[in-house]
Structure formats: structure tokens, C-alpha cells
Structure 1
Amino acid sequence: MNGWTTEYFTIAAALMMFIVGCSLGPWLHMIGIRLPLKQSLALPVGSYCQYCKTQISPFYIGGQLATGSSFAAATYWTADLRELWIAYPLIAILVILSVSDLKYRLLPNKIIFPAIALYVPLRLWIHDLPYWEYAAGFLVGGGILFAVSYISLCMGKPAMGGGDIKLMALLGLVLGLKLVVLALAFSALLGCIFGLILVGLGIINKKTFIPFGPFIAIAGFVVLLFGNQILVWYWGLFSFISI
């Protein structure tokens, strides 16, 4: 199979997974809305369609397209096909958690704990790094945010909730030590830029709470696909500057 044929197959697979992701998007959105309220997730098709008709909004459509685009991007950019077993479930988990955090400022344990239980055997099966790096990523990812949260509480300025800590620990388990540190830095940068833009536009003030979960989700997904390339670029830039 030549390079052009392989590229066509990859594009076709990405387009197919875009459709799959867009189809899953409404269900993931529904889970993110209903799970924190402890509502049943076993909806009849008729009820689900009525739910869709009453809930259509730019946020809903944007989430659907983002889910489809994420599935397509993972399909196109993931070189090791085994890693798609890691990427697809993670996208679904991050979408559900982002919807819940944006709606209720809550990252449910009912999603994060089963996700951790899922990725322990997945990373035992599929791993490019030594096992200890994934374990260290879990501890360091959650540990850094725990330390930040504890210090903030001691100063009387709560910075984030326990859900953010557990989500970053989950990403550490998925990404490993080096990449979870990159994801943490990237999520903080995204949050700062977004917050400054909203403050500058007068939409919020400096004391307004902004859910951090979606920024962690975006950063985690980007780093999952491009983290190693980003690190290579960064160290190359650092070496160039130091010459």
C-alpha cells in the first residue's frame, strides 16, 4: 500500500469517526446534564428526541461538533492505532465532564472514578512508557493541583475543587509524568488567557469563578495528540535561545 492510498484511508477513517463523534455528542451531552442531577440515563428514543428538540442551543451544537472533530483528529493524528483505545474513551469522558462543569461547576466522581478504573488495565495493556511513569503521572498530576488547592485554602482563596484534582490525576495516568506536567501548564495558560479576555470585555470581574475542568480537558486532549512534538519543539527552541 503506497503513501497516497494510506492517506486516503486515513482521511476516510477520520471522516467516518467525525460522523460517529457527532452522533455520540448528543448522548454525551445528555449524560453530562442528567448524571449530576441523579436522573435516569436510560431514556426512551421518543423522550430523547423530545429532549434534543428542547435543548438545542449554540452550546449544544458546538459540543456536538467538538466531539466529532475530536474523534476525527484522534483518528487522523494517532500513529499507533492501539492508542485509539486510549483516545476514544478519553474524548467521551472529557466531553461529559466539560458539560457537567460548565453547567453545574461539578466534575462527578461517578465519571472520574470508573474512568480511572478503566485506564489502569488499559495502560497495563497499551504503554509506550514504563509503568512507573504512568503511576508517577497520576500522583504528580493530582498532587500538584492538590498542593495549589491546599495553599489557596490556607490563604482564604479557594482556587479549585476536588474534581479538578482528580481529573488531572486521571490525565496523569493516561499521559504519563512528562506530558501531564505539560497538560497542567497548558491548561493554566488557557484558563488565564480566557479569563483575561472575559475580564477585558467586561463580561466577568476578577472575582468571578470560571470552571477549570474544560481547560484541563482541552489541554489533555491536545497533549495526548501532540504532546511529544510540543516538547521536542520547546526544547529545540530553548536550546536555540541558549546558544
Structure 2
Amino acid sequence: MGTSLNLGLLFETGFTVFCYISVALLGLLVGSFLNVCIYRIPNDESVVRPRSHCMKCGHTLGALDLVPVFSYLFLKGRCRYCGEKISPRYALVELLTSVVYLLLFWKYGLSVDFLASAYLMSVLIAVFFIDLDHMIIPNKLVVAALVGGVLPFVYNIFRPMDIYVDRKWWNPLLGAFIGFGFLLLVAIVGYLVYKTDEAMGGGDVKLFAPIGLFLGWKMTIVALFISFVSAGIVSIVLLLLKKKERRSTFVFGPFIVMGTFFTYLFGWELLEWYLSTLLHV
């Protein structure tokens, strides 16, 4: 009996390790593809063709040049063909995607919740860097997120997802309405007050519609709260350090991405803590 239990435990541990390694490698591969999206989508280029090539010499990269992270380390951050320095951000995006996948797998295990959250966060990682570089959130990424949001919406009708908690079919739809509607209201009020459409970007408004589908209405509110609080804190710090003018443009997309990720990991715990604290006041 003892031997049988030990073998079972060993098998379970081995399978768990295998899953984590597989998820980490998957994250690296997806991160490599996201690098292509981050560079090409803002330039309205295909993410499929032409094949990946050096931005300096134009040489088509071979398979050994495209191994996530390891190629960058092996080549010491330079192109194999012309010696031009390669931005370390390529490796950073790959590592970041892998870490995000691992944390989501730690939270949700091998489940539909993991697949849905990993898909959304993949789109949002691309949003994060594109918005930082170009101060835009491409419609193609919003549409990609919306299409992916159909999965958790349909699945929730038959079996409740962890992020929703309940099986109410309208939960994700209400989440999309709250996310989109609230930011649209902020944009309208900002326009009326400041006489400019830069108070809230159109991309930010549209992006929270698919996020609401993935999170459901309660977690959408949490994600909105975290996004605005984190953006407010950073904005105040930048103002105090005189790194930013009060009326200057401020990218909100990265804070939406971070708020959504934090909500996936700790949203329900944060909401329960807040409600329990409120009840004891």
C-alpha cells in the first residue's frame, strides 16, 4: 500500500512539473509571436509574411536565430549576420509572457479559465507595449480579444467559470457593458470639462468591452478600480517628480493590462477583503 501511494505521489508530482515546464515553454513561444505583433500591427503589416528578419540588414532569420530568449543570450544580443545590436525587449516580452502563463496556470490549473485568461493576457501584452510605443490600441487587437471572449461567454452557459462564480448567462455581457460604458462616460465627461478628446482614448474605451466579457461584471469593476488607482498613483508621482505636465497626454492602456492581470490573480480575494472590511467598519 505504501509503495503504491509513493508511486502515485511521484507520478502526480512528475505530471505537475511537466505541466509547468510545458506552460513555460508555451509562454516563450507565444511571446516570440507577440514580438512580431508588437512591431508589425502598428505599421499595418501582416504578422505572417514576410518571415522574421533583421531590421538592420534584412537577412531572413533561421530557426536557430528564433529560439525564444536562448537565441538572444547565445548571440549576445546581436544579429548573427551583421552584428547589429538587438533590443533586449524581445527577450523581455518572451520571458514576461512565460511568467504570466505560469502564474495563471498556478491560479487556475489546466482548465478553461486558464486558456481564456492566457488568451486575453496574450492580447493585452501586445496592447501594453504598442500603447507605450505609439499611444494607440489597434482595433485588430480589440477584435481579437472580442472574438476570444465568445469562448468564456458560451462555456459559462453550461458550466460556471471560476472568474464568474455563477452561471448567469448575462454575467459577461454585463461586464462588457460596465467596462465599455464607464470608460465612455469618463471620455464624455473629460471632453466636456477639458474640451479635448484625450481625457480617455477611444482604444481604452473599446478595450474594456472584451475584458468585461472575460472577467464578468464584478471582476470588471475590480479591474477598473485597480487600473484607475494604479494610474493615479503613477501620475501623481510623475507630477511630483516633474516628469509630466498636468495636462499632458498619459497612456492608460498599460494600467488596464496590469489591472486585468492583477484581477485574474487576486480579484476575488481583494473584493472579499474589501467587503469584509466594510462590514466591520
Task: Please say whether Structure 1 and Structure 2 have the same fold, judged by a TM-score greater than 0.5.
Answer: yes
Partner of 1:119: 149
**2:125 corresponds to 1:95:** yes
Letter in 2 for 1:116: L
Partner of 1:13: 19
Letter in 2 for 1:98: F
State the 1:199 CA deviation: 2.6
What does residue range 54-203 of structure 1 map to in structure 2 within 5 Å? 56-79=86-109, 81-126=111-156, 127-128=160-161, 129=166, 130-155=168-193, 156-157=195-196, 158-203=198-243
**2:249 corresponds to 1:209:** yes
Shift in alpha-carbon separation, 1:14–1:41, aligned structure 2, 3 A: same
Summarize deviations over 1:121-147 as a string: whole Å, max 9, x none: 432124433111111111111000000
- Could you say what the CA RMSD is over the residues aligned between the two structures, in angstroms? 2.6
Shift in alpha-carbon separation, 1:125–1:59, aligned structure 2, 3 A: same
When normalised by structure 2's length, the TM-score is 0.76
The answer to whether the 8 Å contact 1:33/1:99 transfers is no
SS in structure 2 of the partner of residue 131 of structure 1 = coil
Distance in 2 between residues matched to 1:200 and 1:57, nearest whole Å: 31
Shift in alpha-carbon separation, 1:45–1:117, aligned structure 2, 3 A: closer
Partner of 1:22: 28
Q: How many residues align?
A: 241
The answer to whether the 8 Å contact 2:131/2:253 transfers is yes
Summarize deviations over 1:156-182 as a string: whole Å, max 9, x none: 143111110111111111111111011
Shift in alpha-carbon separation, 1:9–1:201, aligned structure 2, 3 A: farther
Distance in 2 between residues matched to 1:174 and 1:92, nearest whole Å: 13
Distance in 2 between residues matched to 1:16 and 1:147, nearest whole Å: 43
Distance in 2 between residues matched to 1:230 and 1:217, nearest whole Å: 17
Summarize deviations over 1:33-91 as a string: whole Å, max 9, x none: 21121112223255356898467335444322221110110111115712122112112
Higher alpha-carbon deviation: 108-117 or 11-20? 11-20
Shift in alpha-carbon separation, 1:239–1:219, aligned structure 2, 3 A: same
SS in structure 1 of the partner of residue 170 of structure 2 = helix
State the 1:8 CA deviation: 6.1
Partner of 2:51: 44
Which structure features the higher share of helix residues? 1
Instruction: Give structure 1 stretches of 5+ with no counterpart.
Output: none
State the 1:3 CA deviation: 7.6
Report which structure shows greater RCO (CA 8 Å, sep ≥6).
Answer: 1
Distance in 1 between residues matched to 2:93 and 2:52, nearest whole Å: 20
Instruction: Give structure 2 stretches of 5+ with no counterpart.
Output: 54-59, 67-71, 73-78
Distance in 1 between residues matched to 2:61 and 2:236, nearest whole Å: 38
The answer to whether the 8 Å contact 1:33/1:103 transfers is no
Percentage of identical aligned residues:
25
Distance in 2 between residues matched to 1:48 and 1:223, nearest whole Å: 38
Higher alpha-carbon deviation: 216-225 or 72-81? 72-81
Shift in alpha-carbon separation, 1:9–1:196, aligned structure 2, 3 A: farther
State the 1:111 CA deviation: 1.5
